[in-house]
Every structure is written in structure tokens, then in C-alpha cells.
Amino acid sequence: AQKITQTQPGMFVQEKEAVTLDCTYDTSDPSYGLFWYKQPSSGEMIFLIYQGSYDQQNATEGRYSLNFQKARKSANLVISASQLGDSAMYFCAMREVNDYKLSFGAGTTVTVRA
Amino acid sequence: KAGVTQTPRYLIKTRGQQVTLSCSPISGHRSVSWYQQTPGQGLQFLFEYFSETQRNKGNFPGRFSGRQFSNSRSEMNVSTLELGDSALYLCASSLVAGDYTDTQYFGPGTRLTVL
């Protein structure tokens, strides 16, 4: 079964606007970590933000914030004030306490328009 | 602190050949994981090394192997290359193994093309 689902294959956003990337996950482990990565066309996977399953508050890192809704098993990434350099593929990933690897979603391509 | 480095960045090989990819983790990181990324299959876990021991292996044939050295640097080897092995191979390092809160930091990847 798919552990991470990203339903938006591609999105367009206007520069300086906010964009929300959807991510839902499936796990029966009570302990897990959720990660978002950015992959520009160069290929490198850049870590953006982390949310632990026991974290009470939503994680934030600069212009990135994670909207964590545990009961809905949702971990949406919000990018505020989009910049042209934000154009990339974004991956949601999960690491469970009883697993050893990152399980990735299919990714969402974001294109920022000037 | 320097990031994860991978060499070479690009490789072109022909079917039947073998290839070795190298990964140097962030200083102080002892766990190295390898992932294969293809348009069709997405990102798939290959294996994880910690303290020179392979801790876990993904669902890949035995043609895919790896090792880790005492300085935590890691290599992966693919023998008898097939066209389907064409992919971006990403290496990731983290402080320890088996900690779900531990962030994996990725290198720039090695893009392998098999002709």
C-alpha cells in the first residue's frame, strides 16, 4: 500500500503568493517522522522541514511551514511568498519507528510564474 | 560544514558493464543510505550502511551491492548493467541509523545512463 500520497502532480503559482502542497500518509506506527524535500532540476534533494508525530506545534522553517493534521494523517507544506527559485519538484516523505528508510511520495512539481 | 558529496556526477556505460559510485557523508554522520530515482518507479530505497555494516536492503537484485569504509564513506556497485538501471542514484547521510527523527541529507546524485 502507498505510504505517502501526493495528489497534485503539478502546480503553478504566481510570484509572491503562497502555495500549499498536499501530502497524506498511511501508518499504524504511533511514532514517525514526516519530511519535505525540494528537488530542483539539478537533481539534489534538499531538506526543507521536519515534523515529528508527537510534536504539538506545526513546524516552521523560514518561508516553509507544515500544516500537520494528525487525525487526518495529513502533512501539507505551505510555502509563503513564493520566489522564482522555488520552482522545483517537492517530495513528502515519512520514516516510521519500525522502518529504516524514507518512504517518498510521487512528488509535486511547482512552477513559479513572474 | 561540507555537505554530502557524490562522485562521479555523470556516468555513461553500456549493457553488461559494471559501475562503482562513491559517496562521502557529512562529517560526523555515520549512516549512509542509497536510493534509486527513476521517472517510472520514483524514489526507491537500495540499502543502508552504519558502522561498516549493511543494516538494511531494499528490494533490488543481487547485482546491486555496496559497502562502507571506516571513515563512513560508502560505495555502491552495480554489476552486469541493464538498460533499466539508468537512473539518478542518490546518497543520503544521517547521524545514526534507525532513528526516525534523524534527518537524512542528500548528495547531488550520480546520473547513470546505460546504453
What pLDDT score was predicted for residue B97?
79
What pLDDT score was predicted for residue A16?
97
Q: What are phi and psi of A85, to 5 degrees?
A: -70, -5
A21 forms beta bridges with A77
CB atoms within 10 A of CB A106: 16
Contacts of B55 (CB under 8 A, 6+ apart): A100, B48, B49, B97, B98
Coil, strand, or helix at residue A22? coil
Q: State how far residue A37 is from chain B, nearest Cα, in angstroms.
A: 10
- Each residue's pLDDT tens digit in chain A (114 positions)? 679 999 999 999 999 999 999 999 999 999 999 999 999 999 999 999 999 999 999 999 999 999 999 999 999 999 999 999 999 999 999 999 877 789 999 999 999 999
The reply to whether A59 touches chain B by the CB within 8 Å rule is no
Amino acid, single-letter form, for residue A102: L
Contacts of B76 (CB under 8 A, 6+ apart): B20, B21, B23, B34, B46, B47, B64, B65, B66, B89, B91
Residue of B99, B100, B112 for testing the chain A interface, max A β-carbons within 10 Å: B100
Contacts of A57 (CB under 8 A, 6+ apart): none
